[in-house]
Structure 1
Amino acid sequence: MSITIAGYPAEGPYTSTDDLEDRSGVYTILTRKDATEKWTVLDVGESKGLKSRVETHDRAGCWSRHSRGILGCAPHYTPNKQQAGRKEIEQAIRAKYNPACGER
């Protein structure tokens, strides 16, 4: 399963963190009401340990408050990028979708 977010290929969206890997990347938190509805971007961020970051995220409460019923995470793994490169991707996604959670 895959999805494209702001021109970047991502895996998922996965509704369980069991499907995430703890390696560097950009994560997009998505929501939708049911399988017939398109995903909406709630948040985006970057981490060198993506799975751990999503599982312990300080903005998880915001995700729950804005959830339409189903939450998913779409990881874009970046094994060849340092933090600056991940931040660039994060900012491009944030600028395109203006998510409800996170920095603006």
Structure 2
Amino acid sequence: MKTATARFAIGEVVRHRLFPFRGVIFDVDPEFANSEDWYEAIPEEIRPRKDQPFYHLFAENAETEYVAYVSEQNLLNDESGEPIRHPQVDEVFDWVPENKRYAIRPGLEH
């Protein structure tokens, strides 16, 4: 199986194509790497392909903050220019307002 190149990078702020949430990417899987139960719980009519990058996000919606796992086909660039309020973001990233994205905090790069 051919592995796709990720379109989005760690530190980018993105939003979901179908659902009202946004987040910052903190990890990328080159293809689906979650459980079959998780995958099967997605309604078939919106279930994403497995052969694409999947992104781990510090995510937020109007009510709460959480960690999300989202396929590349369901992500769009977030054009708001606003930082993410998720409480774990500051443990990993520094906000770079002129770039409207995050940079990994010094000492955490690998």
TM-score, length-normalised on structure 2?
Answer: 0.29
Does 1 or 2 have the higher relative contact order (CA < 8 Å, sep 6+)?
A: 1
TM-score, length-normalised on structure 1?
Answer: 0.30
* Higher helix content, 1 or 2: 1
Larger Rg: 2
